[in-house]
Structure formats: structure tokens, C-alpha cells
Amino acid sequence: MVCRSKILAAALIASVAFSIQPAMAADMDGNDVYTDDANFVKPAELGSGWYMRGDVSYNFNLEQERGFAYDPIVGLPSLQFRFGDSYGFGVGVGRQLTSLLRADVTVDRLASSETVFQDFRGFSGSRRFEYIDLVDGATTQTVSFDRDGNLIGTSCAVAACTAAAGTFAFPIGGTERIDTSYAVWSVLANAYVDLPTFAGVTPYVGGGAGMARPAVTLQHLVTCSANEDEACGFPGGDFGEVITDYELINDVYAKWLPTFAVSAGATYDLTKNIKLDFGYRFQHIMNIDSVLDGANLTDTTLLDNKDSVHSVRVGMRVSTW
């Protein structure tokens, strides 16, 4: 009896073993592995969490109005300039590191502002005229004058000729154009903390550091409209240099400087992979006055109040894969 029971038990174990073996083989062939879900942690997939971003911004650059002269030696008038608020844009790439932490690198054009000053002005110069002498008859003479029309020289020593030359001594008309522009490019490495989501909106705070490139363009052009019997001179008060179109200054002053930023905002999920981003950023550029080192300015306050930018930003983040 005992022997028969042992035989039945052995047969039962063998049948169970043979029935399990094909199932395990099928599972192994299909690469399906079953684990205890309660104790299983899924590793991060390679490449997951990456996103691209694009932003537009309105930058409050603390409007100001100041005056400065390019070069007091030639007696240029002071220019009243005004750099105001401006629009900006930026792009970047980043990664969602955890459910709370993300980081990205952004490139932004923070500000772009331009001032143009154009006015009519008189130039010094010389003018040829015909003088009729009672003895020698008609002769061609030359008179020179400053930009205020004061006679400063003639080609004849005859008193009557010099007196007649005074009627030809008046400024030659022309124009003066002064352009100033200001722009900033910025590269930042940023980190953000995403706060708990409420009603589909996820607030965040962040900060970043990097480099910014403020650039100031100064251009001063003068144009003298002389006819065939005239020659323009510059600067005023002297014979100066004969000119038609003369570029006094055309310089760009730029420098890469350290910068840092703090930001806050919120995102809203438009789709699974697209987020709408509303935010505010404060960015400070260090030692910005050094940009104008070497510029021939009588007033170097051109960049006063330009070291900080307050930006209201709207953008999108798109998950790439």
C-alpha cells in the first residue's frame, strides 16, 4: 500500500513538472519576465525627459534719457538719446531630471534698442567767386570761412577783393546723423524646481548663471552738399578736411561679462508632450560699464541702469523623446 502511494506521488510530481516546463520555455522565448510588482523599480529609459524650448519676452530695461557728446574737440553737439523697453526671444534645450527637478541651457537676445538723431548743420569750407578788378579785369578768387560764416581767408590781398569776398562767406549746408544702438545676447545654464500641480498648473522657481554680451554701436556720419564751386571743410572753425560723405565714428563696443538670473512662473500641459510656460525673469549683468572702455565719450553714463533686465516671458516646452 505504501509502495503504491509513493508511486502515485512520484507520477503526480512528474506530470506537474512536465506541464510547467513548456510554459516556462514559451515565456523565455517571448522574453517575458514576471516579477513582483511591489518590489520592482523600473529604471529610467535612455534619452527620456529631454525637451526643447522657445520663448518670447518683453524686457523692461528701465527707460532713460541722457545726453552725451562724441568728441568735444570738434565741437559736436550733445545727443539726447533714449533706450527704452524692447522685445526679445530665446531658445534652449533641457531635461526633466526627476518629477521635481529639471535643468536647461538657454540662448536669449535680451534687448535691442536704437536711437537715431539727424539734423541740418552748417559746414566750414571755401568758395570760388569772380572778382572784377578795374585794372586787371575779371579774376577767379577763393574765399574761406568757418561754419558760422565768418571770413577766415581769401586768395587776394586787395582790400576791395577781400571786402567783396565777405558776401560769399556763409556756411555750406549739410546733414549730421548719429546712430546709437544697444543689444544683449545671453547664454545661461538654469535649474528649476517644479512645485505640486494644481488644476493642471505647475508652478516653478529657478535660477541660472552664465555669460552675457552687451554691445553698443556708435555711428556718426556727416554729409556736406557742396556744388562744383565749393569745398566743404570739417571741423568748423578751420579749413578742415574736404568732405562729401564723412564717417567720423563707426564703432561697436562689446564684451562678454558674467551674469546671473532668477525666475518664477508656471506651466500648463497643452498635450502630453507640449507645455505652455508663463514666467518672469530678473537678470543682472556684472560690470557692464566696462563695455565702453576706450570709447571717446564725454559722458560714460550711456549704460547706466542697463545692467539689470526684467522680463515677462511666454514660451513652449516640447518633449523630444
162 part of a folded domain: no
Q: Quick one: pLDDT at residue 41?
A: 40
| Cβ density class 200-214: b for 16+ within 10 Å, e for less | eebebebbbebebbb
- Number of folded domains that form the chain: 1
**Alpha helices for the chain (secondary structure H):** 2-29, 159-165
* Confidence (pTM): 0.65
168 part of a folded domain: no
pLDDT per residue as tens digits for the range 213-263: 988 887 878 788 788 888 887 654 445 556 666 677 788 889 999 999 999
Peptide bond before residue 43 is cis, with ω within 30 degrees of 0? no
Q: Which domain holds residue 49?
A: 2-122+176-319
58 part of a folded domain: yes
163 part of a folded domain: no
- CA 137, distance to chain mean position in Å, is 67
90 part of a folded domain: yes
pLDDT per residue as tens digits for the range 263-311: 999 999 999 899 999 999 999 999 887 887 777 665 556 565 567 888 9
> Residue 184 belongs to a domain with what CATH number?
2.40.160.20
Confidence category of residue 33, pLDDT binned at 50, 70, 90? very low
- With the C-alpha atoms ordered 158, 160, 163, 168, is the resulting torsion angle positive or negative? negative
